[in-house]
Amino acid sequence: MSLSKWVNQRVPVSDFFDHHLRQYYVPKNLNIWYLFGVFAMVVLVNQLLSGFFLVMYYTPTGDDAFSSVEFIMREVPYGWLIRYLHTTGASAFFIVIFMHMYRSIMYGSYRKPREILWLSGCILFLSLMAEAYTGYVLPWGQMSFWATKVIISIIQLIPIGGEAIAQWVMGDVSVSEVTLHRFFAFHVILFPAIILAMVFLHIIFLHCVGSNNPDGVTPKQIIDGVPKGYVPFHPYITTKDIAYVTLFLLLFLAVVFYAPRMGGYFIEAENYAPANPLVTPAHIRPVWYLSPFFAILRAIPSQSLGAVAMVLSLVLLFLLPWLDSSPVRSIRYKGPYCQVALGIFVVSFVGLGVVGNLPPSHWVTILGRAFTLGYFSFFLLMPLYSRFDRFKRPPGVSGL
């Protein structure tokens, strides 16, 4: 008896691969926006592997954390490569995930029947933010320390239980090396476990409902059990993905080799000074991928309302499937209101990211408020503008 037969009689491995690769069909018209999912998987693997090697040398104590990172950078063979892969990977993760989410927003991939798929993605996004933030604390530089102080103070603004949660997260009465050790536990055990579990579910959910596509329509016609215009995941998508993943790695490693600090955006200059509770840095700014949400916090004159707005800006993502009342999914067939709204959303989100990183001035405040308004309008007015907008009938669809 062959080994494969022996295994398949016990665990149906071949059936599994048929079901999820060879006979799993996806639309042929998936464009380059559909590559960011697999890029995210590549970055996830990169983070897990590089993180695994970093943990071998990193020491999560107040006295040694900073110098253990420098030890990795200088003394560990190729330690610099492992660390830069990890730090560049963190930023790459957000670039890729922002594109992946924007694709879903653009083509209506959150609409029925993919609501649960979208929700699992939103949970993944929040977990990723928590993972990135707890990781940012670990080098125990000045910005690690003071950014933690700021985030803890935001948690303290929660009206009920805020103080208790903050104290549990800190493990102390103020941010200390106990906090550092705790964040290490969050970063290497809790959040990676949540992310891995959610990624697994995200793919399961995807395979239950199948991929959306740039036209946002599901073909009714089935030929030989395959929907019209669909291709098998393997070899069609696997070949395509492997080619583009190589291109992605090329760009990713170019950053790792030539600009791993990205002018202070991927690794901030202030973090090259060890954490010092007695010296406040001149300008505390959030890391770039959290910047849009900090800009919302800063745009609202009241601090507690600012914190509420920041939380709301994330909650609204979860509600997206129920805010969109358009009869079509994809922006290609939506009318001018939806198209303008999407444009405003993009400008607002990028704008928030930019102003969140600028030192405050009159114009920064005004722009921050305008972009905050733009961001919230996209979501909160969607039930209206998507309902009353014109729309075009996608090709090959008789009724909607």
Positions touching other proteins (CB under 8 A) are 28, 67, 70, 73-75, 80-81, 84, 146, 149-150, 153-154, 156-157, 231, 235-236, 239-240, 242-243, 246-247, 249-250, 253-254, 256-258, 260-261, 269-270, 272-273, 280, 282-286, 294, 297-298, 303, 359-361
Q: Measured between alpha carbons, how far is 146 from 171 in angstroms, rounded to an integer?
A: 16
The span from the CA of 273 to the CA of 209, in Å, is: 49
Q: Which residue has the tokens 């009241």?
A: 302
Between 128 and 267, whose beta carbon lies closer to other proteins? Answer: 267
CA 24 – CA 236 distance, rounded (Å) = 11
Cβ at position 277, least distance to other proteins in Å: 12
Rounded to whole angstroms, the Cα distance separating 44 from 268 reads 22
Residue 295 CB, nearest approach to other proteins (Å): 10
Q: Please, which residue, 21 or 209, has the CB nearer to other proteins?
A: 21
Measured in whole angstroms, how far is the alpha carbon of residue 22 from the centre of its chain? Answer: 29
| Tokens matching residue 163 | 């103080």
Q: In terms of CB distance, is 191 or 252 closer to other proteins?
A: 252
Question: For other proteins, which is the closer residue by CB, 20 or 261?
Answer: 261
Q: How many CB atoms lie within 10 A of CB 230?
A: 20
What is the secondary structure of 78-135 as a DSSP string? THHHHHHHHHHHHHHHHHHHHHHHHHHHHHTTTSTT-HHHHHHHHHHHHHHHHHHHHH
Q: Where are the beta strands (DSSP E) in the chain?
A: 25-27, 222-223, 226-227, 230-232
CB of 41 closer than 8 Å to CB of 245: no
Nearest-approach distance from CB 333 to other proteins, in angstroms: 25
User: Cβ 83 to other proteins, closest distance in Å?
Assistant: 9
Nearer to other proteins, 359 or 395 (CB): 359
Give the nearer residue to other proteins in terms of CB position, either 106 or 267: 267
SS3 track for 5-20: HHHHHHCCHHHHHHHH
State the nearest-atom distance from the C-beta of 261 to other proteins, in Å.
7
Cβ nearer to other proteins, comparing 30 with 188: 30
Task: Tell me the closest approach of the beta carbon of residue 91 to other proteins, in angstroms.
Answer: 17
Smallest distance from other proteins to CB 221, Å:
17
